[in-house]
Amino acid sequence: MSTLQPLVWLFNHMRYTFLPLAEQQHIKKEYRQRVAIVLLFFISISLIIGVGSLFPAYIYATLEERLDLNQVAAFKKSVDAASIASNQKELTAAGALLSSLDPYAQKGVFYSTATAVIAVRGKIKITSLALERPSGSGMTVTVAGVAPTRTDLLAFKDQLALIGSKTSVSLPISTLAKGTDVPFTIQITTTLP
């Protein structure tokens, strides 16, 4: 056994080469440096490829920007004084039309009427609401929707009659034929204050 001990010691300390330990550490350090250099080389190559692949997109975006700016400049040149004058005339006419609207619209009578109809709806689902002023002092409101039951629809009709002092509510009798999920169209005629 004593003859094998030096061989075992030699085998354990030999590791991979017959070099001394200091030389082995130096080789390992040099190996790590070379691996780091190769890794950094591949990273730099990938960065160069990435920048190179973005360059055509940059050129394309720059050309598109120039094209768009040229189109805007051409559009500004094509707008002539005649079209500006015609637009100003149309705006003046529209302003005159708005100023000549009836005073009822300026007082918010239509808004208050629509708000009153919506306020009394209860469980009723309103699908459309149309307000018209066919005569000088009258207004017609047409309400369409679906009522959960016939009783709810009749209660809604009674509430609508109380909206104004001179209000009449027209509900076709054929609408009341169905007991639940009743589709309806009610016409309300009222006098504006």
Burial per residue of 43-66, b for 16 or more beta-carbon CB atoms within 10 angstroms, e otherwise = eeeeeeeeeeeeeeeeeeeeeeee
Please give the pLDDT value at position 82: 62
Please give the pLDDT value at position 34: 92
User: Is 116 part of any domain?
Assistant: yes
DSSP state, residue 79: -
Q: Does the pLDDT of residue 155 top 60, yes or no?
A: yes
Q: How confident is the model at residue 175 (pLDDT cuts 50, 70, 90)?
A: confident
Do 70 and 117 sit in the same domain of this protein?
no
Least Cα distance to 183 among 153, 163, 141, 140 occurs for 153
Q: Does the pLDDT of residue 78 top 80, yes or no?
A: no
The Cα–Cα gap between 155 and 177 comes to 16
Range of the domain at 151: 103-191
User: Is 47 part of any domain?
Assistant: yes
The Cα–Cα gap between 119 and 99 comes to 31
Give me 142's structure tokens.
Answer: 């047409």
Sheet holding 138-149, edge to edge: 125-132, 138-149, 180-191, 167-170
Q: What residues contact residue 191 under an 8 Å CB cut-off, 6+ apart? A: 137, 138, 139, 164, 165, 166, 167
User: Is 90 part of any domain?
Assistant: no
Domain limit, last residue, from 38, 63, 78? 78
User: Is 60 part of any domain?
Assistant: yes
Do 64 and 108 sit in the same domain of this protein?
no
Burial per residue of 171-188, b for 16 or more beta-carbon CB atoms within 10 angstroms, e otherwise = beeebeeeeeebebebeb
User: Is 87 part of any domain?
Assistant: no
Do 128 and 74 sit in the same domain of this protein?
no
Do 72 and 136 sit in the same domain of this protein?
no
- Report CA 24 to chain centroid distance, whole Å: 67
Q: Does the pLDDT of residue 138 top 80, yes or no?
A: no
Q: Are 186 and 143 in contact (CB under 8 A)?
A: yes
Mean pLDDT in residue range 83-96: 76
Do 64 and 131 sit in the same domain of this protein?
no
Do 112 and 187 sit in the same domain of this protein?
yes
Q: Has this prediction a pTM greater than 0.75?
A: no
Q: What residues contact residue 62 under an 8 Å CB cut-off, 6+ apart? A: none
CATH number at residue 180: 3.30.70.60
Total number of domains in the chain = 2
User: Is 89 part of any domain?
Assistant: no
Please give the pLDDT value at position 33: 93
Q: Are 153 and 181 in contact (CB under 8 A)?
A: no
